[in-house]
Amino acid sequence: MKTLAVMNEKGGVGKTNIVAHAGWYFAEQFRTLTIDLDQQANLTTTLGAHVSRTSSVDLFSEVTKVEPVGPLTVARSTRELLGIEGVDRAVIETFRDSLASMADDYDICIIDTPPALTNRTFGALLAADAVIAPIGMNDYSLQGVAELLRAIKGVAKYYNRPEPRFLGLLPSIFDRKSRRERDLFESLAEQLGQILFPGIVAKRDVYSRSAGEGQPVWNMKGAAARDAGNEIRGVFETVAAKMELGA
């Protein structure tokens, strides 16, 4: 099983939309597990048709498996996740060991993380083979990038493991009509081009409808849904190639 952590210390950058669509996309070909580590439980709601009986907090308390419910399985979020913070950091290793115990049960695991550097985030980093960071085209969203990159290196060094592969900064909810956002994107590409993901997820109303209807945009009708589907599927094709899925 290969594990992808989707994270940014800033909220409101489209992490859950990306994880939900990643779950739908990869479940077309692979046994797919998604883990909702955000107490807001938006991913659990969106993927409600695929929720298992196991909650994600259980993965921190003792080595626990999430039993598959089909091609796509969700370890659901509960408010008890907040209790993971402030306890002994041994829970970070327990989470890693829980995922390791499912190595033969799934082909890919995608983790939706909370918008903070917490025990839950560190657990995701310790378990991850790869990390992708959705970013909004605003100054506040970009401020946490350096801290995230430091966290990736810090967790790897502390636990004496190889660094997960950083797939890049993924411009998300990018408003192409905004001159300011286009300027920020061009500036970002110039300054951080080497860590910019080769793709974007544009700001589109159809993504909100997708979450409400519990289905991927490519299953919805209309030109906007078709364009969004082509766009976001292209992102995951690149992710699959970078993670050597199926290799």
Dist CA 50 CA 97 (whole Å) = 23
pLDDT value, residue 117: 86
Is the confidence at residue 94, as pLDDT, over 70? yes
pLDDT score recorded for residue 187: 73
Contact 130, 243 (CB under 8 A): yes
Number of helices (H) and strands (E), helices first, in the chain? Answer: 10, 8
Of the pLDDT bands very low, low, confident and very high (cuts 50, 70, 90), residue 144 is: low
| Residue 220 to residues 34, 212, 213, Cα–Cα distance (Å) | 22, 12, 9
- Provide CATH code, domain 2-242: 3.40.50.300
Q: What is the pLDDT of residues 171-200, one digit of tens each?
A: 887 777 777 777 777 777 776 667 889 888
Q: Check: CB of residue 26 under 8 Å from CB of residue 185.
A: no
Give mean pLDDT, residues 91-112.
Answer: 97
Region 152-164 average pLDDT? 93
Cα–Cα distance for residue pair 165/152, rounded to 1 Å: 9
Instruction: Report the chain's C-alpha Rg in angstroms.
Output: 17
Residue-level pLDDT at 147 = 82
Phi first, then psi, for residue 111 (nearest 5°) are -110, 125
DSSP H or E segment with residue 53: strand 51-55
Cα–chain-centroid distance for residue 16? Answer: 7
Q: Where are the domains of the chain?
A: 2-242
